[in-house]
Amino acid sequence: MNWYQETLYSGAIDHGYRQAFRVSREVARKATEFQNMVIFETPFFGRVLALDGVIQTTERDEFIYHEMLVHVPMVAHGRATRVLIIGGGDGGILREALRHAVEKVTLVEIDRGVIDFCVEHMPKLSGGAFDDPRLELMIEDGIAYVRDIERTFDLIIVDSTDPIGPGEVLFTESFYANCKRCLNPGGVVVTQNGVPFYQNDEIRTSYGRLAPHFADVSFYVAAVPTYVGGFMALGWATDNVDLRHLRPEVLAERFDKLGLQTRYYSPGVHYGAFQLPPYVSALMR
């Protein structure tokens, strides 16, 4: 049996620590104009997607990241009906967003190849979400989309790759400024912000680039086993300073009304996710 070793921490960041998966079978491999894609089968994590050597998601633990990046802002906002997803070609965020009473979800993915590859070889991730009539799919660079779009959204979810390759632009200040421009009053932006124990620069830089544009910028955390290093940080930016401080009873009442079955998200987890360990909050300067 082969092992697949992630290369995330063997380049610019090298802590002498790496993650490897035992591979039962390579399912598919393909290169697009933007990135190298591979999906392989593993004994414990099921199918795993890697882009350019970096683990994106696994069938076993994907629910944690996808539930937290969708249900936290949806429940906190309370009445988001127009949702924009930037990236997210695997379809996991789209699947969770469509569980809410949304009018329309716009998904802007730079690489059509990722969508086709995942629908064919990891169909459980999107669970048919790409066929939902509420989806508006745009194959385009997210930075150009938010720069040019005239419409506005209640919630923007940035489900990007790490800030290397095509995802790098999704961590720039001009991207965040344009997200703000196409957000309805009281709207929320959430972002994939890396694992602060290893990628501590990501919180530092994102905080510095988001803070000039929003009244409330912070992070919340979720523990995703295959995003190794403890908590992953998810960025939070909005002009509604109350949304981050909703009491657990309020969250519970809203969540009950939604009638959703979840495996990681709960109103208590939601509330607790904003209580940051000091080693994480210290990076927000």
Active site residues: 159
Q: Which residue is nearest to ligand SAM (CB)?
A: 87
Helix (H, G, I), strand (E, B) or coil at 15: coil
Nearer to ligand SAM, 95 or 254 (CB): 95
DSSP reduced 3-state for 118: helix
Shortest gap between Cβ of 226 and ligand SAM (angstroms)? 9
Region for 183 from its dihedrals, namely left if φ exceeds 0, alpha if ψ lies in -120 to 50, beta otherwise:
beta
* b/e per residue 249-281 (b: at least 16 CB within 10 A): eebbebbeeeeeebebbbbebbbebbebeeebe
C-beta of residue 219 within 8 angstroms of C-beta of residue 236: yes
Nearest-approach distance from CB 167 to ligand SAM, in angstroms: 4
Residues of this chain that bind ligand SAM (CB under 6 A): 34, 56-57, 65, 86-90, 108-111, 114, 141-143, 159-161, 166-167, 169-170, 192
Q: Cβ of residue 184: shortest distance to ligand SAM, in angstroms? A: 21
Question: Judged by CB, which is closer to ligand SAM: 67, or 90?
Answer: 90
**Sign of the C-alpha dihedral, residues 207, 208, 209, 213?**
positive
Between 8 and 251, CB nearer to ligand SAM: 8
The dihedral region occupied by 277, where left means phi > 0, alpha psi between -120 and 50, and beta the remainder, is: beta
Rank residues 173 and 239 by Cβ distance to ligand SAM and give the closer one: 173
In this structure, the number of other CB atoms found within 10 A of the CB of residue 7 comes to 14
Q: How far is CA 131 from CA 78, 88, 137, 139, in A?
A: 25, 15, 10, 16
Minimum distance from CB of 31 to ligand SAM (Å)?
13
